[in-house]
Amino acid sequence: MATSRQNSARNARGERRGVGVLIALLGLTTAGCLGRGTLYTRTVEPYSEDFHNTPVGTKTCRVDEHILREPFTRADVSVSFTSRVVSEAAQKAGMTNIYYADLETFSVMKGVYEKRTLILSGD
């Protein structure tokens, strides 16, 4: 039969284990590791998946878009601005051919602030 000291030691280990699991789940969900995070999310993904015979470019450029949304009411109020259009950015980088693009997304507080960056690669 277990003594009360052994039972309390088992309960303490179980509580510590439960707290550790809770902290791990909280960390994963707020950092964006399980889908869209509560505090922030940062992803980079291909803008297109058609890579058949796609050459690797020697130049890259980035086109930024910033989005700010009003989070408290149900009103669909948002502000969006783009630093420059894609063709102007490619020309400024000296590109005449764009081979592929990646989309980088940085989001804070489930999209209250979001920055999207189109990363172009080409020659």
Confidence check: pLDDT of 32 > 80: no
* pLDDT tens per residue, range 37-93: 678 888 899 887 777 788 888 999 988 888 888 878 756 566 666 656 788 888 889
Which amino acid does the sequence have at 102? D
* pLDDT tens per residue, range 93-113: 999 888 888 999 998 888 888
